[in-house]
Amino acid sequence: MNLNTLKDFRQQMYDCLLKAKDALFQTVDALSTETTANSLPEVTQSLWFERDWSSVYEAFEDGKLDQASLRQVFVRNRPQAVEGGWLWIGIDASGIARPFSITSAQRTGMPVHNLPKAKKAITYGWQFSTLVVLPEPASSRTFILDQQRITSESTAIQTAVEQLRQVVKQLPKKTIVLLDRGYDANWLWCQCSDLGIGTLGRLKTHRRLYRPAPPPTGNRGAPRKDGAVLQVGNASTYGTPDGQYDGMDQKERPIQISWWKHLHVKEARWLEVTVIQVVRPRAKNSERDPRLSWFVWIGDPEEDLVQIAKAYTLRFGQEHGYRFDKQALLWEKPRLRTPQAFALWSQVVAMAHNQLVLATPLVEPVLHPWESKHRPASLQQVRRGFNKLLGQLGTPTRPPKPRGKAKGRQKGAIIPKAERFAVTLKSPKLPPLVPR
């Protein structure tokens, strides 16, 4: 990455903005540099936002963006995999809570995570599905390829498949998508098998898979369609694995990996998958650090399954990226009323995030006295030093034009109350499986 390449990337992003483009792009630059802001109006106090603070809300209300073109820009400028190595991508959904925004349309019910045991809470808001390139090692320097709102008529799994289909043709064949346990679904497995890339997903503890059916016995009755069961939570059903590995993980801790090939589920017997068990004896055995984990591999069973299983830890970089977007880039802070305006804001956050990732090699990070100088610079440290580089990059935006004083509302104008919207609580279902 050099200065001219970054300039070209910024120009490409600017060209994807169709309406209110100058105000929106200046919001990207202000968001990339204003590290002390705690709200959207405070972001507009940056030196890189040349307009009045109130114009930012009008920009998100009236602005338009070509999302397909922006996706193409992100995919073309993505970080490249190491020569001969895999490109690791991840996809996950994150919620933007709006429990009291009764004038906001298309809110849905969302679970609240990270609560104490025996508590299960639901809030209301919007959900977004994010497809990213995962960095090695795992960190917040994820590169966003696509970000879409999950509508009330769709599910996170359907949106994920749609995003993958839109992007996968432009990715190398040696690409693996890493999925969390929330994407453990037969329908998703069948869709991923046609993408031409590998899929590694985490399994739930009640999963049941079946070995190939035994040959017909010649007795009366239909032959068996399924062999012996392998239930993830029942050790008596495991049998002898097809392969094992005892060694060390990336942090030099002992790890044991076993795998079983040529398994299937009853709903899609034509789809062969490989099940992988990972045991880490020194783990804390908590929800975040389990000793025993199970995964499904959808791809060539002759690939290096040990390397693939070890690389699942890269998926946690997506959690770090979400945290950076929400805490530093204020993703969930603006109180924008419509889902369309918030979706546009989400694209602005993605543009600022990716700009900082690509600028990392060119920026001298600014560290606090208590921060380590021996670790790779975080995105927040890069963000603190991005001001100096931004002066060299320049801006494609046009200077603001004074419009004079607004006339205001006409005398006697009646402003009706904002429309109220109900929350969609019923979750949509996945389409039925189509047998091959």
DSSP code, position 311: G
Read off the pLDDT of residues 366-422 as tens digits, 9 standing for 90 and up: 998 998 888 888 999 999 999 999 989 989 999 888 777 778 888 888 888 989 999
201 pLDDT above the threshold of 90: yes
Rounded distance between C-alpha atoms, residue 313 and residue 156, angstroms: 22
Whole-number Cα distances in Å, 88 to 142, 143, 344: 10, 11, 27
Q: Residues 381, 373: contact at Cβ < 8 Å?
A: no
Rounded distance between C-alpha atoms, residue 136 and residue 133, angstroms: 10
134 pLDDT above the threshold of 60: yes
Report the pLDDT value the prediction gives residue 120, as an integer from 0 to 100. 66
Report the pLDDT value the prediction gives residue 130, as an integer from 0 to 100. 97
Read off the pLDDT of residues 16-43 as tens digits, 9 standing for 90 and up: 999 999 999 999 999 999 999 999 999 9
Cα 246 vs. chain centroid, distance in angstroms?
32
118 pLDDT above the threshold of 60: no
pLDDT band (50, 70, 90) for residue 119: low
Question: What is the four-CA torsion angle of 226, 232, 235, 237, rounded to 10 degrees?
Answer: 0
Q: Is 84 left (phi over 0), alpha (psi -120 to 50) or beta?
A: left
How confident is the model over 246-269, as a mean pLDDT?
Answer: 90
Read off the pLDDT of residues 330-370 as tens digits, 9 standing for 90 and up: 999 999 999 999 999 999 999 999 999 999 999 999 998 99
Report the pLDDT value the prediction gives residue 434, as an integer from 0 to 100. 67
Read off the pLDDT of residues 156-198 as tens digits, 9 standing for 90 and up: 999 999 999 999 999 999 999 999 999 999 999 999 999 999 9
When the pLDDT of each residue in the chain is averaged and rounded to a whole number, the result is: 91
Which position has the token pair 């589920």? Answer: 265
Q: Which helix (H) or strand (E) element contains residue 191? A: helix 186-192
Q: Is 61 helix (H, G, I), strand (E, B) or coil?
A: helix
Residue that wins the pLDDT comparison between 7 and 289: 7
Rounded distance between C-alpha atoms, residue 308 and residue 304, angstroms: 6
Q: Residues 98, 124: contact at Cβ < 8 Å?
A: yes
Report the pLDDT value the prediction gives residue 214, as an integer from 0 to 100. 86
Read off the pLDDT of residues 215-253 as tens digits, 9 standing for 90 and up: 888 888 888 888 999 999 889 999 999 999 998 888 888
pLDDT band (50, 70, 90) for residue 298: very high
- Domain coordinates in residue numbering, the chain: 3-216+224-391
